[in-house]
Amino acid sequence: MPLAPRLGFAAIVLAFACACTESPRPDMNTSTSTPANGNPLFTESTLPYHTPPLDRIKTEHFRPAFEAGMAEQRREIEAIVNDPAAPTFANTIVPIEKSGQLLSRTSSVFSSLTSSNTTPALEEIQTEMSPKLAAHSDWIFLNPELFARISALHDKRDSLGLDPESLRLLERYYIMFVRAGAKLSEADKVKLKQMNEELSKLSNQFRQNVLKGVNAAAIVVDDVAELDGMSPEQIAVAAEAAKARKLEGKWVIALLNTTQQPPLAQLKNRALRERIYKASVARGLGGEFDNTGVIAQMVKLRAERAALLGYPHHAAYVLEDETALTADAVNGMLAQLAKAAVVNAKAEAAAIQTLIDAQAKSSGKPSFRLEPWDWDFYAEQVRAAKYSYDESQVRPYFEMSNVLRNGVLFAAQQLYGITFKERKDIPTYQQDMLVFEVANPDGSPLGLFFVDWYARDNKRGGAWMSSYVDQSRLMGTHAVVLNNLNIPKPPAGQPTLLTFDEVNTAFHEFGHALHGLFSNVQYPQFSGTSVPRDFVEYPSQYNEMWATDPKVLANYARHYKTGEPMPKALMDKVLAARKFNQGYATTEYLAAAIVDQALHQLPPGQTPGAADIAAFEQAALARAGIDFYAVPPRYHVTYFSHVFAGGYSAGYYAYIWSEVLARATESWFDTHGGLLRENGDRLREKVLSRGFSIDALTMFKDFYGKEPDIGPLLESRGLSLSGTGSSP
Ligand SMILES: [Zn+2]
């Protein structure tokens, strides 16, 4: 099983726009090993592609399998360390790669079930196991004898006669151990563990403050007339929310964790809009659930930890292991994008101001300056007038099975020549699931693709891809991957009709699935989607392009009753609406990403104190030229959970970084004839089959022929450097 270091960085993924891949986090503690006793996790699956026997794995099987899996890996690592022979690649690195099979099997099924089909009993096991897994990971990565062997090999790596992938594996192991603190003195290792523990506590405190703060900031409305603009259903929800808070006869508007709040697009009452907005942005800034102190401590500790590990600041530590590599590269990309985004946001603001002025004039009332709490309300009016179409007009053309078989899978057949055969004999954890066997054009096997698209109460929100088995030539394995969506299930007998966003998500997730299935690497460490965070969304964001390809659309976007193709005028409206308001959306995202970098590019001793957090944020926005008053950051720091309670510190930029690569790839296809086998085969060979066996940026450049450029991304969002390309 590939090892992944754990440095106290929380693994919680808060998706910004779409979905992510998740891989089970390997980690763990010794305990008595339990005899297999019919526990199906204890033996390698004999099903096709070693797919787990999901029909036979029961909740009570996990605890003993985790315990025995940790013990097994510990014995395996001890055997490597205690080998009297001098370290070689074959007696040290290869056995690390092969270690922990039981743990790996257990973790992958467990994490899939806790995400997709959880129960209170599974969650209890998760709570119990996660500190044990963390300790197991620390035991491996801070094991001095193990590191001594890796380090000795690393010192003479050029004379070992290794092939490129093996050499890279040795280098990766060395880097992972060093980054986890393996080179520190014993005293500094203790210090590092304390810092990680402290950061983990602070992060938890931040999360608690955000949760309590968002509840405390909910808006209480006394007069239903103030809710003018909301639908009767939404007003009923607000009345229910009031009842739940023992405020019968009133209405409560609950807040989301973003700066902007959805009701602001509908509420006609300007004073109420202002009240909601101000409550939203005040969260965590002073008061009972103040987060400024937590932030100041976390930023300071992260800077000190980076220094302990030999880096100038936390961002340098994080980015070194990403595609971006350096803070300069990230700053450069963000600055370029910010310029275009702000120009377009200002053009959108001017158009909204014109609308406000015109409405004031015709009603004989004084006009006013557009404020952040007005933006969505007026933008929505422009949107409705310009792109008016009803979701109910579109959905009959997006029947679920059609979208899957004649859209998502069809595009892959056209591009890569691969085939899909439905398998009814493979066990699943839920009766709605589908399983396809995927094969190469010559009939040779690629793996299995599981589909779990329906929403359930015991499934987490969003959409994601995960793996049961990772491809590796060393282990002789093919990929077994799973896509999860959250499509509401209609009553029995009714067709499942998707929104266009759901269609797009289906293509997106299948891009991750292909990245797993096409993997053709030697070592599990490099398999499929085991790439940096700022690269992992690239294959999936790229694959979205086929949802709107004319040939693919013609094949799947057909009325579920009549089989008629979707009218072009309707599709054009759907596509045009996607470029709407992108100046705002891009600016608010970039503002948050820029503040994240600014806070984490400070050396120890220069991080702001609690009282200066808000001023620091404002100054960072001004320095970047993105301090446009009408477009506040998507998250102010005091509720920026990605960065202080998620795994995205100095990493929020990653979403747009990978989108730059995806849109550049899309433009490459557009200029090379689009949906052609030769194009698909090129991307498969240069990128999709490589996992992380070569450097990510090199992979991209091999395919694209040059450095990534931001032009295609700006174009796809309808942004232009002059601000004339977009109108609100
Ligand atoms: Zn994704």
Each residue of 515-542: pLDDT tens digit?
999 999 999 999 999 999 999 999 999 9
- 506 C-alpha to center of ligand 1: Å? 10
27-41, 418-432, 521-535: the lowest-pLDDT one: 27-41
- 536 C-alpha to center of ligand 1: Å? 7
Cα separation, 119 vs 569, in Å, equals 46
3-state DSSP assignment of residue 639: helix
CA-to-CA dists, residue 271 to 264, 277, 380, angstroms: 11, 10, 18
3-state DSSP percent of the chain in helix, strand and coil, to 5: 55, 5, 35
pLDDT score at 31: 38
- 18 C-alpha to center of ligand 1: Å? 6
Question: Tokens 């405020």 identify what position?
Answer: 247
Which residues fall inside 5 Å of ion ligand 1, going by CB? Answer: 18-20, 537, 540
Mean pLDDT of 543-553: 96
Cα separation, 315 vs 308, in Å, equals 14
pLDDT score at 720: 76
- 309 C-alpha to center of ligand 1: Å? 31
Query: Contact at 8 Å (CB) between 673 and 41?
Result: no
Mean pLDDT of 377-390: 84
- 590 C-alpha to center of ligand 1: Å? 19
Cα separation, 479 vs 446, in Å, equals 7
Confidence of residue 28 (pLDDT cuts 50, 70, 90): very low
Whether the per-residue pLDDT at 15 is higher than 60: the answer is no
19-23, 57-61, 103-107, 445-449: the lowest-pLDDT one: 19-23
- HSE, side-chain direction, 13 A CA sphere, residue 141: 29
Whether the per-residue pLDDT at 5 is higher than 60: the answer is no
3-state DSSP assignment of residue 205: helix
- 696 C-alpha to center of ligand 1: Å? 17
Which tens digit of pLDDT belongs to each residue from 239-256? Answer: 999 999 999 999 999 998
- 514 C-alpha to center of ligand 1: Å? 12
Mean pLDDT of 693-702: 94
Query: Contact at 8 Å (CB) between 540 and 664?
Result: no
How many Å separate Cα 348 from the centre of its chain?
A: 29
Confidence of residue 26 (pLDDT cuts 50, 70, 90): very low
Percent of the chain at pLDDT above 70? 94
pLDDT score at 718: 87
In terms of DSSP bridges, do strands 419-422 and 20-22 run parallel, antiparallel, or are they unpaired? unpaired
Query: Please, what is the Cα angle at 411 between 406 and 416, to 5 degrees?
Result: 135
CA-to-CA dists, residue 369 to 343, 353, 373, 580, 622, angstroms: 18, 7, 11, 22, 21
- 462 C-alpha to center of ligand 1: Å? 10
- 659 C-alpha to center of ligand 1: Å? 11
- 366 C-alpha to center of ligand 1: Å? 47
Region of 284 (left: φ > 0; alpha: ψ -120 to 50; beta: rest) is left
pTM: 0.88
- 215 C-alpha to center of ligand 1: Å? 29
Residues 6+ apart with CB under 8 A from 178: 309
Query: Contact at 8 Å (CB) between 514 and 539?
Result: yes
H helical segments located in 452-556: 500-517, 533-536, 538-543, 550-556
Q: Dig out the tokens for 367 from the structure.
A: 């006009």
Confidence of residue 392 (pLDDT cuts 50, 70, 90): confident
Q: Dig out the tokens for 616 from the structure.
A: 């620091």
Cα separation, 661 vs 671, in Å, equals 16
Q: Dig out the tokens for 243 from the structure.
A: 């009842």
pLDDT score at 37: 76
Whether the per-residue pLDDT at 32 is higher than 50: the answer is no
Query: Contact at 8 Å (CB) between 247 and 220?
Result: yes
- 593 C-alpha to center of ligand 1: Å? 18
Residues 6+ apart with CB under 8 A from 129: 63, 66
Query: Contact at 8 Å (CB) between 540 and 661?
Result: no
- 222 C-alpha to center of ligand 1: Å? 42
pLDDT score at 382: 84
Query: Which position among 509, 588, 659, 666 bears the catalytic label?
Result: 509
Query: Contact at 8 Å (CB) between 403 and 506?
Result: yes
- 657 C-alpha to center of ligand 1: Å? 13
CA-to-CA dists, residue 80 to 76, 85, 92, 97, 150, angstroms: 7, 10, 6, 11, 11
Confidence of residue 14 (pLDDT cuts 50, 70, 90): very low
CA-to-CA dists, residue 121 to 174, 367, 380, angstroms: 38, 59, 44
DSSP track, 99-130: --HHHHHHHHHHHHHHHHS--HHHHHHHHHHH
More confident residue, 703 or 16: 703
Which DSSP helix (H) or strand (E) runs through 220? strand 219-221
Confidence of residue 413 (pLDDT cuts 50, 70, 90): very high
509 is catalytic: yes
More confident residue, 3 or 6: 3
Residues 6+ apart with CB under 8 A from 395: 497, 498, 499
pLDDT score at 377: 95
The mean pLDDT of the chain is 91
H helical segments located in 364-469: 372-387, 391-394, 400-402, 409-416
Phi, psi of 288 (to 5 degrees): -65, -35
- 682 C-alpha to center of ligand 1: Å? 22
Percent of the chain at pLDDT above 90? 81
How many Å separate Cα 694 from the centre of its chain?
A: 22
Residue 231: exposure state from Cβ atoms within 10 A (0-12, 13-18, ≥19): exposed
The amino acid that residue 431 corresponds to is Q
Which tens digit of pLDDT belongs to each residue from 163-207? Answer: 999 999 999 999 999 999 999 999 999 999 899 889 988 998 998
Confidence of residue 112 (pLDDT cuts 50, 70, 90): very high
Cα separation, 583 vs 718, in Å, equals 8
Confidence of residue 652 (pLDDT cuts 50, 70, 90): very high
Which tens digit of pLDDT belongs to each residue from 341-370? Answer: 999 999 999 999 999 999 999 999 999 999
Q: Dig out the tokens for 691 from the structure.
A: 């996992």
Confidence of residue 723 (pLDDT cuts 50, 70, 90): low
- 228 C-alpha to center of ligand 1: Å? 37
Which tens digit of pLDDT belongs to each residue from 555-603? Answer: 999 999 999 999 999 999 888 888 899 999 999 999 999 999 999 999 9
- HSE, side-chain direction, 13 A CA sphere, residue 636: 26
Cα separation, 632 vs 300, in Å, equals 25
Cα separation, 534 vs 661, in Å, equals 10
Whether the per-residue pLDDT at 425 is higher than 90: the answer is yes
Query: Contact at 8 Å (CB) between 514 and 412?
Result: yes
Phi, psi of 479 (to 5 degrees): -80, 140
Mean pLDDT of 690-717: 94
Cα separation, 530 vs 483, in Å, equals 16
Q: Dig out the tokens for 30 from the structure.
A: 């010794």
Rg (the chain; Cα; Å): 26
pLDDT score at 396: 96
Cα separation, 219 vs 233, in Å, equals 18
Query: Please, what is the Cα angle at 137 between 136 and 143, to 5 degrees?
Result: 90
